[in-house]
Amino acid sequence: MDRFFSTDTKFYAAWSLLADLVIINLLMIATSFPFATAGASTRAGAVVVRDMVREEGSAPVRRFLHALLSNWRTPTLWSLITVVISCGVGYELYVISRADLGGVGMVFTAGVLSGSLLLLGITAWVYPLCALSDAPTPLRRTLAMAAALSIRHLPRTAAAIAALLIAPAAVYFFPGRIYAIATYFMLIGHALSWYLVMLAVEPALPAEDRDSQHHA
């Protein structure tokens, strides 16, 4: 029994990871209000889960709070841009659904959804790239690099997109379980999705920047 609960066992490591994800998830959600801070919050979560993926660092709460106040401009701008684009996508889908366009409507819908996946794929790289350094990262350079990496490492991008679509897909396929899905998201879902994203993309992040980030 003592061996089972030893800090060297895989069981302990799994429970420790789970506990850290719950803590980071609560921090990410709490610091996303007001909404303008959601980008900085996501970037801070990406910093911590990157440390977890690399099995580095400690004190995730302190690490998160430090990261929240560092390199926040680009993540914040990108989060606001994606919200505006997402509202536009939602409106376009609403208009298409209300219009009787037949096969043409299906083509338009496929185009809008394809563009949404492209946006999500770039987003899956933007925050990990911003997590590489506490120094400010220019938005244009970050977006250019994210777009290039999303195409160059397409299987990793697809895996990252799948991770980010866990909660939305659950709502779509199981609308009657909305309360259970909301509980999952509020408890661990947000941080878990970004942990899975980081598992997918971290090996392909720019090698020259990997160790440039200074721990608090």
- The two structure tokens encoding residue 54: 């690399």
pLDDT confidence of residue 6 = 54
- pLDDT by residue for the chain (216 residues), tens digit each? 555 455 566 777 788 889 999 999 999 999 998 888 999 999 999 999 999 999 886 789 999 999 999 999 999 999 999 999 999 998 988 888 888 777 777 888 889 889 999 999 999 999 999 999 999 989 999 999 999 999 999 999 999 999 999 999 999 899 999 999 999 999 999 999 999 999 999 999 997 444 444 444
**Rounded alpha-carbon distances, angstroms, from residue 116 to 15, 88, 112, 122, 123:** 35, 10, 6, 10, 10
**Rounded alpha-carbon distances, angstroms, from residue 7 to 3, 4, 12, 182, 202:** 9, 9, 6, 32, 26
Q: Name the one residue in this structure whose structure tokens are 């920047």.
A: 209
135-148 exposure pattern, b = at least 16 Cβ within 10 A, e = fewer: eebebeebbebbee
Angstrom distance (rounded) from CA 202 to CA 156: 9
Q: What are the two backbone dihedrals, phi and then psi, of residue 134, each rounded to the nearest 5 degrees?
A: -85, -10
